[in-house]
A and B are shown apart, each in its own frame.
Chain A
Amino acid sequence: NAGVTQTPKFRILKIGQSMTLQCTQDMNHNYMYWYRQDPGMGLKLIYYSVGAGITDKGEVPNGYNVSRSTTEDFPLRLELAAPSQTSVYFCASSRTQETQYFGPGTRLLVL
């Protein structure tokens, strides 16, 4: 099993551009999450999903959108990128509301 995979690993965006961060898991987990981690800070939940077709906002959803059309994929969309969205983004999945398995992260720089 590859676990949780994320692409790209690193991206530079200009202010106002948009992009999609990809996340795929092959563990047949129902729960999937998107977090952001700013330097020296903990993880902040952006959006989460409890199954295909179901998504909900986390602590910091503004400026982001998600969709969950399949169990495996949970892409995160950034519209109109802003410098405040410079961060490391982690996708995670879990079978239950317990052990979360994290992907390797996407480092995003908005200039």
Chain B
Amino acid sequence: QKEVEQNSGPLSVPEGAIASLNCTYSDRVSQSFFWYRQYSGKSPELIMSIYSNGDKEDGRFTAQLNKASQYVSLLIRDSQPSDSATYLCAVNSVNTGNQFYFGTGTSLTVIP
């Protein structure tokens, strides 16, 4: 069983603040890491993917990967009320072939 763990929250931040979402994974050979955003009643949509140790920035979003600690995070700068959603972490590795393992998600609320 490949495990992907996330703090379920809810996480509340004021508008304009930085939201920090964390994810740990158990499969040491995991290679690909993804953050999806899911609005209530909607389907997940990809925000970020990261494959190498370090930071990857895209607009207000920064993904951080530390393979030694088996840890991936997502930072959302200048949080907006429209960022209020559940954020899902997903992991894939060559050992699991084409299977992706998802965490249970962290619920984020941005307070105006």
A43 at the interface (CB under 8 A from B): yes
Are A102 and B4 also in contact (CB < 8 A) when A40-B104, A48-B98 are? no
Q: How far is the CA of A98 from the CA of B91 in the complex (A)?
A: 10
Given A97-B32, A97-B92, A99-B49: A42 touches B43 (CB 8 Å cut-off): no
Q: Tell me if A105 counts as interface (CB < 8 A to partner B).
A: yes
A-side contacts of B8, CB under 8 Å: 40
Shortest B42–chain A CB gap in Å is 8
Bin the interface of chain B by size: 20 to 34
| Main secondary structure on B side of the interface with A | strand
**A31-B98, A42-B103 are contacts. A104–B49 as well, Cβ < 8 Å?**
no
Asked if A103 lies at the interface with its beta carbon under 8 angstroms from chain B, I say: yes
Chain B residues within 8 Å of A48, by CB: 98-99
Q: Which of A59, A98, A103 contacts B43 (CB 8 A)?
A: A103
A87 within 8 A of B: no
* Bound form: Cα–Cα A42–B88 in Å: 7
B residues lining the A interface (CB < 8 Å): 4, 6, 8, 32, 34, 42-46, 49, 88, 90, 92, 97-105
Give 24 A-B contacts (CB < 8 Å), ordered by A residue. Answer: A33-B100, A35-B102, A40-B104, A41-B105, A42-B4, A42-B103, A42-B104, A42-B105, A43-B100, A43-B102, A48-B98, A50-B98, A59-B99, A90-B43, A90-B44, A97-B32, A97-B92, A98-B32, A98-B34, A102-B44, A102-B45, A104-B42, A105-B42, A105-B43
> Could you tell me which A residues sit within 8 Å of B by CB distance?
31, 33, 35, 40-45, 48, 50, 56, 58-59, 90, 97-100, 102-105
